[in-house]
Amino acid sequence: MTEIVGIRFQNSGKVYYFSPNGLTLPMGTLVIVETARGIEYGTVALPNHKIDSEKVVSPLKNVIRAMTEEDQRTLEQNRDRERRAYKIGEQKIAQRGLDMKLVDVNCAFDRSKMVFYFTADTRVDFRELVKDLAAVFHMRIELRQIGVRDEAKMFGGLGVCGREFCCRGYLSDFQPVSIKMAKEQGLSLNPTKISGTCGRLMCCLKHEQDVYEELQKITPRIGSIVKTEQGTGRVEDANLITGKLRIRPDNEDEVPYTIDRAEVEVLQRAGKNRPKRPAAKQQQKPKPAGKEGAPAPRDAAPKDGAPKDGSKPNANARRRTGRPANKPQKPDKPDT
């Protein structure tokens, strides 16, 4: 067992394991840690606890200290630098005429480098821009192109549900979302209704998909034949959330009724036990026939220029001599 603490460096970012280095750190404490990129600050997301050593990638980096008042002042100075760098970055981009949008600026705690995040539709040659920014700030400059989802995560906001963006609030990673999920959940396929503020499919479609998959396993599909206390019928509509089914009885004189899915017995699921289509027969080509429908004799007269033994004419001989192939050639005259 290894004692660790979980540190998060950005809002709703990933949680990384660090060694507490003998410190007791409650959740929410601001700390200074050693990372592969240098000295950084973060927030304790998981307090001290022990986990299996197999789940830890050794060696663990140490927590240097809890944030002090001096560290707080350094952090405020860095944030002032970031706001100033954002304005200067926009000016330099406009001067260079680059087709890119500056999103955010992040200054390292030890002021060893500054990272500029931007979005662009295509690749951008920003080598001269890096030189301009390095001449102003006299530190290492990095430019990173991000997507529209990362942009929405950095800015934050409210979704169509009225709550904070999932990516900003609690999601640490972006999961792939497909239009198939919207179909299985019975949602409208109108892009304006299933897309988020970023213009991509809403992230909530993914983390609700597991529930819908479980409900689909226990809910008869539309078109299935079921048996109830009132007799047999076919499922006309199914609500996965409430579990209510609308059944149309086999007797056309009866009125459709609603029943819970736990009260039905599935006799035949929709899309199963369907009769297979017979395979199409391949038409055979008729054999060539001679006179009066009789098969053509093998010793039929060959075409003009074709050899009588049925072999193909030698085209090379015709090209060499200029005479028709398979014809007897005159012997060459002897030299006198």
Give per-residue pLDDT as tens, 143-201.
999 888 888 888 888 888 888 888 887 777 788 888 888 888 888 888 888 888 888 88
Domains of the chain in sequence order = 2-67 (no CATH), 73-146 (3.30.300), 160-207 (no CATH), 219-268 (2.30.30.30)
Question: CA geometry: angle at 291 spanning 290 and 297, to 5°?
Answer: 40
Q: What pLDDT score was predicted for residue 287?
A: 56
Q: Is 319 a residue whose pLDDT tops 60? A: no
The residue-averaged pLDDT of 194-216 equals 87
CB 12 within 8 A of CB 171: yes
Q: State the burial class of residue 89 (Cβ atoms within 10 Å of its Cβ: 0-12, 13-18, 19+).
A: buried
Give per-residue pLDDT as tens, 65-121.
888 889 889 989 999 999 999 999 999 999 988 999 999 998 888 888 899 999 998
Q: What pLDDT score was predicted for residue 133?
A: 92
Give per-residue pLDDT as tens, 279-312.
555 555 555 555 444 555 555 445 554 555 555 5
Q: 327: which residues sit within 8 A by CB, 6+ positions away?
A: none
Q: What pLDDT score was predicted for residue 116?
A: 93
Q: Can you tell me the distance from the alpha carbon of 245 to that of 26, in angstroms, rounded to the nearest whole number?
A: 50
Number of CB atoms found within 10 A of residue 163's CB? 10
Strands 101-107, 63-66: parallel, antiparallel or unpaired by DSSP? Answer: unpaired
Give per-residue pLDDT as tens, 244-257.
999 888 888 888 88
Q: Can you tell me the distance from the alpha carbon of 262 to that of 244, in angstroms, rounded to the nearest whole number?
A: 9
Q: If you write DSSP's letter for every residue of 20-39 in order, what string do you get?
A: -TT----TT-EEEEEETTEE
Q: What pLDDT score was predicted for residue 91?
A: 92
Q: Can you tell me the distance from the alpha carbon of 253 to that of 19, in angstroms, rounded to the nearest whole number?
A: 74
Strand order in the sheet with 140-145: 101-107, 113-119, 140-145
